[in-house]
């Protein structure tokens, strides 16, 4: 072991060069990488090496066993889930985050500079998303953790409104939550937070849509008789990318007492486009917002931010402080990330985002967002004009939700999708919407272009003729 470590340390140039070469080969040919593979389970190698192989040898083993079956998940035709790519600048920032290996915590004192980089990145993001500066933000692993973080502070707020300190005394009263079409990760957060995933009151959606019905929402609120509650609202639902009416919710907020959380994991990036920013108009009045960075910001996993109004900093610290650790400083006196979010130690997640935003700026992101939206709309048009497919919802932003045109062939949808994904040329994911088996294609990658959706549409037509 000692030998291998010593050897590796002497060879660090060589090791990094090997990785650099392999990495750039991969990235340069990513559009030819299969988007999924037919690999049965790779046998787990049970043996723990006694003295180790050294990095060069391990790279060979990795290249033999796993590399050939890595899929082009950050490539231009990976349209499953909502999967972003990685811009060149974000890859650079990500590599450096690993090399410098900082643990961003405190912004002053004898620490390091990494927490300042994180705070600066949050300011850049607020700017990019045209949000005011009065949000305290930080980086977590994904939108799931961001929803969790925001709703944990909401829980503390709700508790305080009812005279209990949930962080200290636990949740011994039920809390009221309203929502219409929350993402599954918000429901998961309710379960993690002890509020209970069954305890969300389901508000109706607007007719034929996924957006919350404002009238029904107000009816529910009136019935609550002044009871404070948490509203989970959506800035881009996953199936149809529908947005709640934020301006109307803002009006309600001036009349009633509630915590307003917006899950804008990917939809928030509509703010980057002059043509689509109306979709998020009014979102700056929310108490907390979730934004994913490993989706439309196109930085590598794992990256998302929570944005919580600064006025709730005390509640946030109450929720996340390390109060029994005097060596970590006074959480209210001195800002430290470890007292405002779930993790204590974290990597410098902000750096890839910082690199990418600095490298491409406002216009670069406007281009990425508008290009993806335009591709989704064009692909949607091909689908709508075809004899074999139809849209399940209008293409509102960057996601195309569709199915086979013939309703009698619903059982073929799964088979069709399997064949399509088996080509390895594109990857889409199944869904169920308005009593239909559906398929989703989400455009979130900076590299995707018109040739991609034309190629995919041709393949789709070939498969459908084979299925006939
Ligand atoms: C993707 C997504 C999430 C979950 O995000 P992760 O990054 O996978 O944790 C939550 N909400 C919405 C609207 C999403 O699209």
Confidence of residue 109 (pLDDT cuts 50, 70, 90): low
The two tokens of residue 461 are 């037509």
Confidence of residue 1 (pLDDT cuts 50, 70, 90): low
Does residue 328 surpass a pLDDT of 80? Answer: no
Contact between 430 and 443 (Cβ < 8 Å): no
Does residue 110 surpass a pLDDT of 70? Answer: no
Quick: pLDDT tens for 365-411. Answer: 999 999 999 999 999 999 999 999 999 999 999 999 999 999 999 99
Quick: pLDDT tens for 334-353. Answer: 889 999 999 999 999 999 99
Picking from 268, 314, 315, the residue whose alpha carbon sits closest to that of residue 290 is 268
Contact between 107 and 115 (Cβ < 8 Å): yes
Quick: pLDDT tens for 49-108. Answer: 999 999 999 999 999 999 999 999 999 999 999 999 999 999 999 999 999 999 998 877
When pLDDT is averaged across residues 422-451 and rounded to a whole number, the result is 97
Residue spans of the domains in the chain: they are 2-72, 90-356, 363-467
CA separation for the pair 346, 9 (Å, rounded): 25
Quick: pLDDT tens for 270-316. Answer: 999 999 999 999 999 999 999 999 999 999 999 999 999 999 999 99
DSSP secondary structure code for residue 451 in this structure: H
Centroid of ligand 1 to alpha carbon of 54 (angstroms): 38
CA separation for the pair 397, 77 (Å, rounded): 17
Compute the chain's Rg from CA coordinates: 24
Q: What is the pLDDT of residue 40?
A: 65
Q: φ and ψ at 66, to 5 degrees? A: -115, -35
Q: What is the pLDDT of residue 327?
A: 75
Kindly give the pairing relationship between strand 177-179 and strand 200-202. parallel
Q: What percent of the chain has pLDDT over 90?
A: 92
CATH class of 90-356: alpha beta
Residues with a CB atom less than 6 Å from ligand 1: 82, 142-144, 183, 185, 236, 238, 263, 265-266, 292, 304
Identify the residue whose C-alpha is closest to ligand 1 atom 5. 143
CA separation for the pair 82, 336 (Å, rounded): 32
Architecture of the 363-467 domain: Alpha-Beta Complex (3.90)
Confidence of residue 46 (pLDDT cuts 50, 70, 90): confident
Please tell me which residue, 332 or 93, carries the higher pLDDT value.
93
| Best probe residue, ligand 1, of 241, 265, 300 (max atoms within 8 Å of C-beta) | 265
């Amino acid at each position: 072991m000692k030998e291998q470590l010593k050897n590796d340390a002497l060879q660090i140039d060589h090791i990094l060069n090997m990785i650099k070469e392999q990495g750039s080969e991969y990235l340069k040919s990513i559009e030819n990488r299969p988007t999924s593979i037919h690999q049965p389970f790779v046998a787990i190698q049970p043996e723990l090496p006694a003295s180790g192989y050294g990095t060069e040898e391990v790279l060979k083993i990795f290249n033999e066993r796993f590399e050939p079956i890595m899929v082009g998940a950050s490539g231009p035709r990976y349209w499953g889930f909502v999967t972003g790519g990685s811009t060149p600048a974000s890859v650079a920032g990500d590599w450096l985050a690993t090399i410098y290996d900082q643990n961003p915590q405190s912004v002053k004192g004898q620490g390091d500079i990494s927490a300042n980089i994180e705070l600066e990145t949050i300011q850049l993001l607020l700017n990019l998303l045209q949000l005011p500066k009065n949000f305290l933000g930080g980086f977590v692993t994904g939108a799931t953790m961001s929803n969790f973080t925001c709703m944990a502070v909401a829980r503390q707020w709700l508790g305080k409104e009812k005279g209990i300190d949930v962080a200290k005394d636990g949740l011994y009263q039920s809390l009221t939550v309203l929502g219409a079409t929350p993402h599954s990760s918000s429901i998961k957060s309710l379960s993690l937070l002890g509020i209970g995933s069954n305890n969300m009151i389901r508000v109706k959606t607007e007719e034929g849509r996924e957006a919350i019905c404002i009238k029904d929402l107000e009816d529910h609120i009136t019935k609550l008789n002044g009871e404070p509650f948490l509203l989970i609202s959506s800035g881009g639902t996953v199936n149809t990318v529908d947005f709640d009416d934020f301006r109307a919710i803002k009006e309600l907020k001036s009349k009633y007492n509630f915590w307003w959380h917006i899950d804008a994991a990917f939809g928030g990036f509509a703010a980057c486009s002059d043509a689509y920013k109306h979709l998020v108009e009014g979102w700056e009045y929310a108490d907390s917002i979730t934004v994913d960075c490993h989706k439309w910001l196109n930085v590598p996993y794992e990256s998302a931010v929570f944005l919580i109004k600064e006025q709730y900093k005390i509640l946030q610290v109450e929720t996340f402080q390390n109060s029994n650790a005097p060596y970590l400083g006074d959480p209210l006196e001195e800002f430290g990330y470890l007292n405002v979010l779930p993790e204590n130690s974290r990597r410098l997640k902000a750096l890839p985002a910082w690199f990418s935003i600095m490298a491409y700026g406002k216009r670069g992101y406007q281009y990425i967002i508008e290009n993806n939206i335009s591709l989704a709309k064009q692909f949607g048009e091909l689908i709508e004009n075809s004899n074999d497919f139809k849209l399940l919802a209008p293409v509102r932003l960057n996601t195309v939700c569709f199915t086979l045109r013939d309703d009698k062939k619903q059982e073929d949808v799964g088979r069709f999708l399997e064949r399509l994904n088996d080509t390895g040329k594109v990857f889409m994911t199944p869904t169920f919407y308005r009593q239909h088996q559906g398929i989703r294609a989400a455009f979130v990658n900076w590299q995707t272009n018109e040739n991609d959706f034309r190629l995919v549409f041709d393949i789709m037509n070939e498969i459908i003729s084979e299925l006939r």
